[in-house]
Structure 1
Amino acid sequence: MDTQSGEDMRNTVSDNAGGGLRGVRAQPSAELSQAVHDSYGINSFTNSIDLGGSSSLNLLVIDDRRRYVIRVYRPYVTEARLADIQLARWELNVHGVPSSEVLPTLDGRQWITFEGRLVEVEKYVESDANMDSWEHLMMGLPILGRVHTILRGIPFSTEGRNPLFANHIEPQKAIGMTMQGTERIRGWGPSADSLKLADAAEELAHLVSAGERELVPMLPRQVVHGDYWHNNVFFLDGRVALISDFDFMGERARIDDLALTLYYFACSGEPVSEQQLGKLRNLIDAYDQGLDERLTSAERSALPLAIARQPLWSIGGWIALLDDEEAARRHAAGMLGEVEWALCIVRELDRWQKAFT
């Protein structure tokens, strides 16, 4: 599954959201190059490479055989939020978890402002693989447990704990936000498949909410990474070399972070076999090994529901909030199979909970 699930559409339609609040992804320019040169002494964007990423612009630049990543955030990212993102990465590095190292400006600042956007420069880290295979997940998930252990003790600000845009939907908001998304879908004069998607999403939201109601109050909450998957976790020579992209970092049940990873790994649109459930259990156990406070029985019971809730952030988040209707339509076009797959989890909840506990 693509980690952006249709959200990264910057080359065709605008992915601005929230009535212009999110802003569009930055683009390289001569003016940006000059601003970075003036503040960091980096000489040129010649032959720079856009490393991708749906939120920030991430440019690989080479200056005198040294390599850097220039990251330009969207306009909604505030200084308080970026300070917390940098704090999280610094703490991870201090505790032995490889994360981005920020290069200070010539006068010692941690970022600059360019055309209303925050810009930081970090050292480039070499890699040869992403966390997109079973083997890499088995190596990467104990690190996620370690990340959660480290982040739990950091006093983040309100802005650090609450991203304005993220691939996440809180359990208590699942029904209301999903209804906003399905209302928009029905307002398009939709196709039969779109109407089927709206009906399925509403059914999923109600079933998941009912299943989670008694479990959610028992789930430990903390600040988590927010998008621990694929090209946000880099490997070199069979070891984790870098954990990147904290754009969706925020406070939520810690199992929601794990559920996102498991959802990306498992959601294929096909029924899940006993062998696949066993693999998911192995991944959960691998994550558990990295925690200093192990998963509770309530968390293991809630995990299938948290996985099933994942496609609802597409419905109640991006489809409801994307400003461009064409962007929202394209996002919706790939969602029916994922919502129906999640419905299968809820309908076989006992089977999933037995496998995980």
Structure 2
Amino acid sequence: MTRRERFDSRELAIVLSHYELGVIESIRDYPRGSRRAPKVRIRTQTGEYLLKRRAPGRDEPHRVAFSHRLQLHLAENSFPVARLIGTRDSNNSLVQHEGAVYEMFEYVRGEHFNGSNRATQYAGYALAHLHRLLGGHALVSNPPDASYHAAPGLAGHVAAVPRAVSTVDVKASEADLLRCCAYLREAYDDAVRRVESLGYSRWPRVINHGDWHPGNLLFHPDRRVAAVIDFDSARLEPRMTDVANGALQFSMRIGQNTEDPTTWPEALSAERIRAFVRGYDQGAATPLTDAEHQSLPWLIIEALIAESVVPIAATGSFARIPGAPFLAMIERKVRWLTPRAERLVTFVRESQR
């Protein structure tokens, strides 16, 4: 299990000295999001704030500056994002200390995703609004462009999974892991071919959020989006990669035991996928094309596999969940979706009528 990173007191004192927050009344750990990116919630006389240390690999200053330019541009256009707090002396949106990069946000209150179709539709609409505001906006000359689609290093990650899992879970069956990984590799490659056959490489590229999931959105009581957070994965790629990943994340069905994936249903929520796409089409400058609709289930499969294999290959687990049962759950979902791909596309298209 990957240990959650935390701040030490000296580090906090040095980083906070760069900000003018007023008298600090309390500092509490904020154990949400990436375990490699520690956060604290700070209450002062002037308000509440969230301090975050960027995770390794997401902390290159040019990448942080890129995401901050996005957030500032969105805020200037009244898009709901958490306000960045500048430093005392230079109003810089980031602080660097001993090789690490830190950012401070105004703390935003809101409700978490409640699993409703209404909230899902608003999440899709908000994503379309973001794409519309960022479309064609040249914020830097070379924005990140990594993607879960046709990821060049995925084969190596898949190959590394059995050893990584066995290192932290001696009870995991190597034979089962090898069989599961072989299936996922084949399913991923098949999905890539299907997406490419639809013309993916020729689709316009726009700036994507890159990590559009329920944990990165806060909602008003009426289920409209109150704030979008965590732009660490923002990048340049066709909009459909964001749409498909968002549809996946907002349609995941998890059992009552959130840490036991063997109890999670194999099916995604087709109703929520349709609600998400309906919301996106309502907010988009141009609705999704026929080819983009056809790519939806295959990009979902790519995202399911890539977004689980990569962290498990690195740590042997997925957050707090052992890697073996988590990958078995991913396999079940891929096996459920593959024969239903055409029906899902037809069902989602009904939202356009």
Q: TM-score, normalised by structure 2?
A: 0.82
Query: 1:236 and 1:354, CA in 2 relative to 1: closer, same or farther beyond 3 A?
Result: closer
Q: Which amino acid letter does the alignment assign opposite residue 55 of structure 2?
A: R
2: CA distance, partners of 1:336 / 1:206 = 18
Q: SS of 1:96's equivalent? A: coil
Residue-by-residue CA offset, 1:176-224 (whole Å, 9 max, x unaligned): 5443233223455943431331122022123212312211234332221
Q: What displacement does 1:51 show?
A: 4.5
Contact 2:112–2:214 at 8 Å: present in 1 too? no
Query: 1:180 and 1:57, CA in 2 relative to 1: closer, same or farther beyond 3 A?
Result: same
1:349 to 326, 341, 352: 341
Contact 1:308–1:343 at 8 Å: present in 2 too? no
1: CA distance, partners of 2:56 / 2:308 = 24
| 1:1-357 alignment runs, 5 A limit | 9-11=2-4, 25=5, 27-42=6-21, 43-44=23-24, 46-54=26-34, 55-64=36-45, 66-76=47-57, 77-108=59-90, 109-130=92-113, 132-157=115-140, 160-162=143-145, 168-171=147-150, 173=151, 177-187=153-163, 188=166, 190-215=173-198, 216-238=200-222, 239-268=224-253, 270=265, 272=267, 276-314=269-307, 316-320=309-313, 322=314, 324-325=315-316, 330-357=322-349
2: CA distance, partners of 1:185 / 1:115 = 32
2: CA distance, partners of 1:198 / 1:160 = 32
1: CA distance, partners of 2:271 / 2:94 = 45
Per the alignment, residue 14 of structure 1 pairs with: none
Q: Which amino acid letter does the alignment assign opposite residue 223 of structure 1?
A: I
Contact 2:248–2:273 at 8 Å: present in 1 too? no
Contact 2:113–2:217 at 8 Å: present in 1 too? yes
CA RMSD of aligned residues (A): 2.7
2: CA distance, partners of 1:93 / 1:46 = 28
The farther-off stretch of 94-103 and 36-45 is 36-45
Q: What displacement does 1:83 show?
A: 1.3
Query: 1:311 and 1:93, CA in 2 relative to 1: closer, same or farther beyond 3 A?
Result: same
Query: 1:53 and 1:83, CA in 2 relative to 1: closer, same or farther beyond 3 A?
Result: same
Query: 1:231 and 1:66, CA in 2 relative to 1: closer, same or farther beyond 3 A?
Result: same
2: CA distance, partners of 1:325 / 1:158 = 36
Contact 1:47–1:61 at 8 Å: present in 2 too? yes
1: CA distance, partners of 2:226 / 2:100 = 28
Q: What displacement does 1:246 show?
A: 0.8
2: CA distance, partners of 1:212 / 1:37 = 47
Contact 1:218–1:298 at 8 Å: present in 2 too? no
- Gaps (5+ residues) in structure 1? 1-7, 12-24
Contact 2:117–2:271 at 8 Å: present in 1 too? no
Q: Which amino acid letter does the alignment assign opposite residue 121 of structure 1?
A: M
Q: What displacement does 1:32 show?
A: 2.4
The farther-off stretch of 141-150 and 196-205 is 196-205
2: CA distance, partners of 1:158 / 1:312 = 31
Q: Which amino acid letter does the alignment assign opposite residue 31 of structure 1?
A: R
Q: What displacement does 1:252 show?
A: 2.1
Per the alignment, residue 261 of structure 2 pairs with: none
The farther-off stretch of 64-73 and 184-193 is 184-193
- Gaps (5+ residues) in structure 2? 167-171, 254-263
2: CA distance, partners of 1:110 / 1:265 = 30
Query: 1:133 and 1:327, CA in 2 relative to 1: closer, same or farther beyond 3 A?
Result: closer
Q: What displacement does 1:61 show?
A: 0.3
Q: TM-score, normalised by structure 1?
A: 0.81
Q: SS of 1:161's equivalent? A: coil
Q: Which amino acid letter does the alignment assign opposite residue 10 of structure 2?
A: E
Per the alignment, residue 256 of structure 2 pairs with: none
2: CA distance, partners of 1:158 / 1:284 = 31
* Count of aligned positions: 325
Contact 1:212–1:302 at 8 Å: present in 2 too? yes
Contact 2:110–2:226 at 8 Å: present in 1 too? yes
Query: 1:135 and 1:182, CA in 2 relative to 1: closer, same or farther beyond 3 A?
Result: same
Q: Which amino acid letter does the alignment assign opposite residue 251 of structure 1?
A: L
Residue-by-residue CA offset, 1:277-301 (whole Å, 9 max, x unaligned): 3542232111111111221111111
The farther-off stretch of 277-286 and 54-63 is 277-286
Q: SS of 2:215's equivalent? A: strand
Q: Which amino acid letter does the alignment assign opposite residue 32 of structure 2?
A: G
Q: Which amino acid letter does the alignment assign opposite residue 222 of structure 1?
A: V
Q: What displacement does 1:332 show?
A: 4.1
1: CA distance, partners of 2:337 / 2:317 = 30
Q: Which amino acid letter does the alignment assign opposite residue 80 of structure 1?
A: H
